Amino acid sequence: MGTHGEGEPRGDGLTVLVGETEIAARVAELAAAVERDHPPGEPLVIVAVMKGALVFLADLVRRLAMPLRIELVNARSYRGARREATVHILDEVAALPLSGRHVLLLDCVLDSGSTLTALRREIAACGPASLRTCVLLRKAVPREPDVQPEYVGMDIPDVFVVGYGLDHANRWRHLPYVAALGQDAIPEEQER
């Protein structure tokens, strides 16, 4: 697979926003910041939002030199390319072993903040020793002022993005970069 530069249209309805090299550099910087802020010797529990944060999670944890545990939670605020008004948390967060532990909530994209807000509320109810949030991408959209992750990889425009674990209709997750998905790339059956 060839490499694609930032802003480069691919000819298939995708325009690269963030290339592989920039993603790798930002993930390394985020890992360093998490390690710097984390209490030495204390284990970290990473709660990752699936499926979109899967690739980000894998790259981040390989750069962390600390004891950690990974928990996965399924939540969604999108149906196809359309944002829904409510967040659907599909797993029982209260069943996760989070009480008294240092928790990092990890998601790939922050847009309205509704998913992070809902998950932070659920995790906080479990009584963690600390709770921080980390997102790779923060969209330039209005959101509540209290939705401010401690760690942000980069800011992007308010466009629907795919690649680096993010998908539309289970397509494009495998791309090693983040691309904007144009309307012409959405199959007709998905637009209904």
Q: Is 111 a catalytic residue?
A: yes
Phi, psi (5° rounding) for residue 136? -75, -45
Q: Please, are residues 76 and 19 in contact by the beta-carbon 8 Å criterion?
A: no
Beta strands 68-79; 82-89: pairing state:
antiparallel
- Active-site residue, selected from the candidate residues 111, 146, 155, 167: 111
| Secondary structure (H, E, C), the chain | CCCCCCCCECCCCEEEEECHHHHHHHHHHHHHHHHHHCCCCCCEEEEEEECCCHHHHHHHHCCCCCCEEEEEEEEEEEECCEEEEEEEECCCHHHCCCCCCEEEEEEEEECCCHHHHHHHHHHHCCCCCEEEEEEEEEECCCCCCCCCCCEEEEEECCCCEEECCECECCECCCCCCEEEECHHHCCHHHHC
Q: Which residues are catalytic?
A: 111
